[in-house]
Structure 1
Amino acid sequence: MYASFIADEDRKGDNADFALFKLGAQCKKALNHHFSALPQTRTELLNTSLELGCCSISGYPVSKGTNKSGQLSSEIYSFRGVAAKATTYEKLGLDPSANIIVHYDRSRAVYPGTLQPFPGPALRGVSGGAIFSWPKEHALSDDWSIPSLVGIFHTYHKDEGLAVGSLLMPYIATIGLMQMKGGQA
């Protein structure tokens, strides 16, 4: 499910997995300056998330953010976990053809280089971050040219240790519908 809204609308308590809003020209220019799109060869459109194994969620956690003279910034972090099985989707009432659930318990985080315990940041603020899928034979790799973008993260269930996102297909379908209706995405 998605929602479309104007930037100052209060969306707390919404039941939407993702929201779309139009960016102003200045914001688009700033984003294009700092980010570049992944090539299509680095994305994977899945019909189900039940066949995923190891996944990483990458984004900018609020706890690592700074505000210097009105400029907000944060370091990028990646959180790795194992994709959930069908019973977890049933428990949360989510559809694996639209959603991705990744087991991630912050208290069990380890430093990738040594696998020693590491106090990782919280997932707060990472909403909208990328979810990547790692091939089984590269589950512990740190070579970021290997994984494929498969979804977008949106919700963390801290008590259950579950990170939830949406597969890319619903985004693409929504953008296509908006373009058909005469809007721009």
Structure 2
Amino acid sequence: MVDLSEIYEKRHFEHISKAQKYTTKLLIDDGFGYKVYGSAVFVRIKEHHFLLTAAHVIDLRDDLKIPLGSDKLLRPGGLITYSNFEKSRENDPIDIAFMKLDDYTVKELHNHYNFLSEENILTNHTVQDTFYTFLGYPTTFSEYSVSKKSFHSNVFFHYNYPEPLKTYKLLNRDEKRNIIIKYDRKRTVNTRKVKITMGPDLFGMSGCGLWFTNPLEILIPNSEPKLIAIMTDWPIKNKTVVIGTKIDLIVQLICLKFNIENNGI
């Protein structure tokens, strides 16, 4: 008899590995070496290539670098668009930014990363009572070697269930444009030691993707994870959740900005 739960778990971890190839860390030099300042996801819509992240990560910064391997850094080039805010970025419920990458940047990135194709950007998704996974690069998981002039970091992922609607009201969020996922810091997967351990502070994870493994597609070979949202906030008043902006809104803004026909993305 086929054990569907076992197949789902296997496919889920395959998708986590694939999601990592679409994800990067964004680095800054703090005077003592490079450290992770945020995370980002690479996507392709039609013939255009984009970097998606949280707006507060790249607001007023022109010094962010993307690692190409362990010993080379790239300063990405392109046109940046931010979500607007009324009072402060800290109170921005959208908090997203996207960069339309220039040809040189795309060429350099292609040797080290993949771009998620638009058919794996999941819009009009009804949130289900199942696992969703956010994956990025916490600052505490990174290290810069001054002597070797090289940078190393480890990815972190956490999969958990979405929060009920009452949580959205408590955190002043809208379920139509946001998604809130539980973060059980005391029970996270340590991939290096293959056991359940205490999870990290999530600084550096802002801008990472939220991914979904569709239970209806687990028997399809070579299936891809679906991008649901870009994660933007680990709220001070509730450290047991992480908040994201749904990919629907980001796609709409991209299509409006660059006059791209949104035919079912």
TM-score range, shorter chain: 0.7 to 0.9
Amino acid at match of 1:94: R
8 Å Cα contact 1:60/1:74 also seen in 2: yes
Q: How many residues are paired up?
A: 174
**Structure 2 length-normalised TM:** 0.54
Q: Which residue of 2 aligns with 1:46?
A: 124
8 Å Cα contact 1:46/1:168 also seen in 2: no
Answer with 81-90 or 33-42: which moved more: 33-42
8 Å Cα contact 1:53/1:135 also seen in 2: no
| 5+ residue gaps, structure 2 | 1-53, 64-87, 260-265
Distance in 1, Cα, partners of 2:106 & 2:118: 21
Amino acid at match of 2:61: A
Q: How far off its partner does 1:14 sit?
A: 5.9
8 Å Cα contact 1:48/1:98 also seen in 2: no
Distance in 2, Cα, partners of 1:115 & 1:74: 17
User: Does the alignment pair 1:107 with 2:186?
Assistant: yes
**Structure 1 length-normalised TM:** 0.73
Deviations 1:134-177 (A, max 9, x none): 34589xxxx99564211111111264411111111111111112
Q: How far off its partner does 1:24 sit?
A: 6.4
User: Does the alignment pair 1:170 with 2:262?
Assistant: no
Q: Does the C-alpha gap of structure 1 residues 48 and 163 become closer, same or farther in structure 2, counting only changes over 3 Å?
A: same
Identity rate of aligned residues, in percent? 23
Q: Does the C-alpha gap of structure 1 residues 156 and 171 become closer, same or farther in structure 2, counting only changes over 3 Å?
A: same
Distance in 1, Cα, partners of 2:198 & 2:222: 22
Distance in 2, Cα, partners of 1:46 & 1:120: 31
Q: Which residue of 2 aligns with 1:7?
A: 61
Distance in 1, Cα, partners of 2:103 & 2:116: 21
Amino acid at match of 1:124: F
8 Å Cα contact 2:136/2:155 also seen in 1: yes
| CA RMSD in angstroms, aligned pairs only | 3.7
User: Does the alignment pair 1:32 with 2:110?
Assistant: yes
Q: How far off its partner does 1:43 sit?
A: 2.8
Q: Does the C-alpha gap of structure 1 residues 174 and 137 become closer, same or farther in structure 2, counting only changes over 3 Å?
A: closer
| 5+ residue gaps, structure 1 | 181-185
- SS in structure 1 at match of 2:196: coil
User: Does the alignment pair 1:56 with 2:110?
Assistant: no
Amino acid at match of 1:149: L
8 Å Cα contact 2:232/2:245 also seen in 1: yes
